[in-house]
Amino acid sequence: MDLTARRALLVALSAVAAPSVARAVDHAPRLVSAPEVSLPDDDSLPSGASVRLEFTVSAEGRVQDVVVLEGLRPDLDAAVLEAASRMVFEPAEQGGRAMPARMRFRFRLRAPARSVIPRNPYEGDTADLVVTQGAAPSVPAPTTTAPVTAPVTAPVAAPSGEAESGEATIRTRRQSGAATTFSLRGEELTTVPGTLGEPTRVVASMPGVARTPFGLGFFVVRGASFENTGFFIDGFPVPLLYHFGAGPAVISSRLVGQLDFFPGGYPLQYGRFSAGVISLETRPPPSTRPFLEFSVDVLRASALAVVPFDQGRGSIAFAVRRSYLELIVPLIVDGVSLQYTDYQIRADYRFSARSKLSLFAFGSNDTFSRAAAAGVGQTASEQQSELAYTFHRLIGRWDYGLPGRAQLTLAGTVGVDDTAFTNQVPGQQDQSFASTGFILGERATLRVPTGQHLTTSVGFDALTILFNADLRVPLFNNIGSVPPPAFDPVVLAFSPRITQLSIAGWVEEVLRAGPVEFTAGLRIDRLKYAFVDTTVVDPRAVLRVRLHERVVANLASGFFHQQPPFFNLVPGVQNPRLRPQRSWQTSAGVELNLPGSIETRFTGYFSRMYRLIRNSSDVISTPDGPQRVPIVDDGEGRAYGLEVLVRRRLERGVYGWVSYTLSRSERYVGDGTVVPFNFDQTHVLNVALSWDINSRWRVGGRFQLASGAPRRRVDGAFYDADIDRHRALNPPRVDDGSDTERLPVYHQLDVRVDYRFRWGPWRMSAYLDVINVYFAQNVENWLYQYDYAARTAFPGLPILPALGLTGEY
């Protein structure tokens, strides 16, 4: 067979003898659709080659818990797993109720004739069927043989080794170049309490992640500041991956193909962030037939429509979502308002089993405003602040499979980011910041198996951002001048422009030899912004050793760089000479796969941070005379801790996990005094459990517990006549932390109940997801009286019950 010709996987279902009938069923599962899959380019496929699988067909017709009973070799098994996970069934029914079923399939692999493809390769074959009450078991029960039929299918699969559920694709193997990748699937992503059914929100329950106030969508990962963790969609950075207020991802979960969370030591294909990475890869929606989906609850409404064309080779999808939190939250918490909106338009076309093209346009708007209306006596109740993010992106991507199992990916993006912040304080001039960033990016990646045990990956990416800003900020006084009265300050209003350019190349080698996998690589970035033009080099390495069939040890180390934020580079107000931030990350861990679908991970990490931005009163000489430098880049910090994850994988309808992080994040100030980071949380605990009671009902809960973040202690106040206000008296910074106090311990319980049913051709699900079910009065900060003689708590999110309904057609 010519190496450039397409190979297809034709699915043939072989009968396996059944000893007895476990339970009579009215209707066996009916195969609705299954994709074609590219196989590796070789002529070594043996005659009669097949892979035998066992999996569960859920009450929703989705394939779950796939197990290889008889395999051929890893690359062929991976292709078969991909095909199996994409199959869609009409579920088994008994007494008018949809039932989960455990089935065994034998996939026969053969290269079809070029000019003839069987009209229906499934017709007339049979498969084992196990019908169980509730969730299907992990081992075969007595079976009955039932005929299975299916219509003609379209080639919609991709050549990869990843498994895909009805909601999202989650890696079945760890990504090379990463020490640790957390991996969840199917119902583990869409039924976690407190996430409102959003797969991407599960990251907040993973080890190494500290909680952030009000669920704003930023993450403090392994003790780094929230801006040091990058959000990526299809390889390109975006300002937000999650909406404010514990909201969903900025794109529909139906378009989420894969979510990778790297708490540290992320692969070389990513860059420009000095802490962790959360990467979201999108996928084509189901394209075998037109598809409609809607979801409505008390917090938001969304809809998605998919229209296939050219016999399923291509599809166009439209999605939109709008929250109405701005109508609800102010009724519960005075002075707080939230709102978000997003949209997506996606077009996909598969030219062949090797070549596919996608265009993806999406955008999001988030607004958070706060008026400190609660307080004691004359508090700062008139203070108002507002933060708004809006962004739009268009991403084009072409994937092409080359001979020899090589893979080429080319992608580009254009977009715009709008950020606005305002702060109004009584007796002071309003401060505001608004910026618009125009984005242009390109990426190219080539992965080539270069030997029996070696894989080489090379890549190039470039990102250009042109920022235009409008600022209103207080003017710094000239050295030796008399400051104006604070009640009549001089405010500087201007519109700076700054361009940030980054061009990077990287190479990575992965060596797999027996129980050892060693990954080493190098990334080089040329960075040009404001008054800085520099080159940074990031070497990274990961070693994984399988000590036992159930035990894997790992060790990772590397350097990471990040450009300063745009608003810190504005000449005349900030410092345009700030150097890139740098971190050195090291981690070591062990992974245990225990009986009963239990996996346990222990990871210790240490991160050293350099060139952190800090406030300064330094003075420098300039042609215009001495000037103050309000911020400098000589700050340093460190973070270290232990992460523990004990997880039960989804089996027999039950899944859950316990994640715990013991950590310390510190910064160096002044003469080397070590103080806790503003978001340092010594203990963070997450416990999640969900149980599929039967084919209709699922219940679950999630409990969160976290130490309070540190705040500077207030020992009193003095009156400042220059500004006609009282100022807080804070103790000097000391190493033992006695100059700070912690906010109260944070705790919250979330509960979720799902009920699945059918309404004509619609597959429906009603759910109740209650965030903070016992209305814990958590403290996000303190509000002080005007003279600091008394204070009151600024509360966190209240109880948020989301009663909703989803439908699929």
Amino acid at 742: R
Residue 587 resides in a domain? yes
End-of-domain residue from the set 160, 190, 213: 160
Nearest to 182 by CA among 62, 268, 63, 264: 264
pLDDT recorded at residue 44: 53
Task: Express each pLDDT in 261-274 by its tens digit.
Answer: 888 888 999 999 99
pLDDT recorded at residue 753: 94
| In the block, residue with structure tokens 């810190």 | 568
Question: Does residue 323 surpass a pLDDT of 50?
Answer: yes
> Are residues 419 and 566 located together in one domain of the fold?
yes
Cβ contact 702:687 at 8 Å: yes
Region 756-766 average pLDDT: 90
Amino acid at 576: P
Structure tokens at 40: 């590796």
- What is d(CA 742, CA 707) in angstroms, rounded to the nearest whole number? 8
Question: Does residue 141 surpass a pLDDT of 50?
Answer: no
Region 565-570 average pLDDT: 87
Amino acid at 284: P
Give the structural domain span for 109. Answer: 30-160
Tell me the CA distances in angstroms from 186 to 29, 294, 387, 651, one per residue in order: 19, 19, 34, 12
| Runs of H (alpha helix) within 325-431 | 325-332
| In the block, residue with structure tokens 């994709």 | 35
Question: Does residue 247 surpass a pLDDT of 80?
Answer: no
Region 703-730 average pLDDT: 87
> Are residues 145 and 289 located together in one domain of the fold?
no
Question: Does residue 135 surpass a pLDDT of 50?
Answer: no
Other CB atoms within 10 A of residue 116 CB: 7
Question: Does residue 478 surpass a pLDDT of 60?
Answer: no
> Are residues 144 and 283 located together in one domain of the fold?
no
Cβ contact 72:49 at 8 Å: yes
Question: Does residue 113 surpass a pLDDT of 70?
Answer: no
Length of the chain: 809
End-of-domain residue from the set 133, 160, 187: 160
| CATH number, domain with residue 719 | 2.40.170.20
Task: Classify residue 736 by its DSSP letter.
Answer: T
Task: Express each pLDDT in 574-601 by its tens digit.
Answer: 889 999 999 999 999 999 988 888 999 9
Region 316-338 average pLDDT: 83
Task: Express each pLDDT in 360-376 by its tens digit.
Answer: 999 999 988 876 544 44
pLDDT confidence of 377, banded at 50, 70, 90? Answer: very low
Q: Which of 178-192, 524-538, 612-626, 712-726 has the highest mean pLDDT?
A: 524-538
Question: Does residue 450 surpass a pLDDT of 90?
Answer: no
> Are residues 310 and 455 located together in one domain of the fold?
yes
Query: With a threshold of 0.85, does the pTM exceed it?
Result: no
Q: Which of 59-68, 86-95, 469-478, 765-774 has the highest mean pLDDT?
A: 765-774
- What is d(CA 386, CA 300) in angstroms, rounded to the nearest whole number? 21
At residue 26's C-alpha, the angle toward residues 21 and 31, to 5°, is 90
pLDDT recorded at residue 475: 61
Task: Classify residue 731 by its DSSP letter.
Answer: P
Task: Express each pLDDT in 82-99 by its tens digit.
Answer: 778 778 777 776 655 677
> Are residues 144 and 290 located together in one domain of the fold?
no
Residue 20 resides in a domain? no
pLDDT recorded at residue 496: 86
- What is d(CA 605, CA 588) in angstroms, rounded to the nearest whole number? 7
- Computed over every residue of the chain, the mean pLDDT equals 78
Question: Does residue 112 surpass a pLDDT of 50?
Answer: no
Rg (CA), the chain: 28
**Structural domain count, the chain:** 2
Q: Which residue has the higher pLDDT, 703 or 84?
A: 703
Residues with Cβ within 8 Å of residue 490, at least 6 apart in sequence? 474, 475, 484
End-of-domain residue from the set 138, 160, 182: 160
Least confident of 18-27, 254-263, 644-653, 779-788: 18-27
Question: Does residue 518 surpass a pLDDT of 80?
Answer: yes
- What is d(CA 458, CA 506) in angstroms, rounded to the nearest whole number? 6
Cβ contact 103:89 at 8 Å: no
Nearest to 105 by CA among 120, 73, 83: 83
- What is d(CA 90, CA 30) in angstroms, rounded to the nearest whole number? 5
Residue 801 resides in a domain? yes
Residue 648 resides in a domain? yes
Q: Give me the phi and psi of 201, to 5 degrees please.
A: -75, -15
Residues of the chain with pLDDT > 90, as a percent, come to: 34
pLDDT recorded at residue 159: 30
Other CB atoms within 10 A of residue 226 CB: 15
pLDDT recorded at residue 2: 38
Least confident of 22-26, 246-250, 653-657: 22-26
> DSSP labels for 612-680?
EEEEEEEEEEETTEEEEEEEEEEEEEEEEEEEEEEEEEEETTEEEEEEEEEEEEEEEETTTEEEE-TT-
Question: Does residue 191 surpass a pLDDT of 70?
Answer: yes
Residue 749 resides in a domain? yes
Structure tokens at 648: 């039960």
How many H-runs (helices) and E-runs (strands) does the chain carry?
A: 3, 47
Cβ contact 576:629 at 8 Å: no
- What is d(CA 44, CA 674) in angstroms, rounded to the nearest whole number? 63
Cβ contact 507:456 at 8 Å: yes
pLDDT recorded at residue 215: 64
SS3 784: strand
Residue 627 resides in a domain? yes
Region 162-181 average pLDDT: 43
Residue 465 resides in a domain? yes
SS3 80: helix
pLDDT confidence of 20, banded at 50, 70, 90? Answer: very low
Amino acid at 515: P
pLDDT confidence of 75, banded at 50, 70, 90? Answer: low
Residue 203 resides in a domain? no
Question: Does residue 605 surpass a pLDDT of 70?
Answer: yes
pLDDT recorded at residue 81: 79
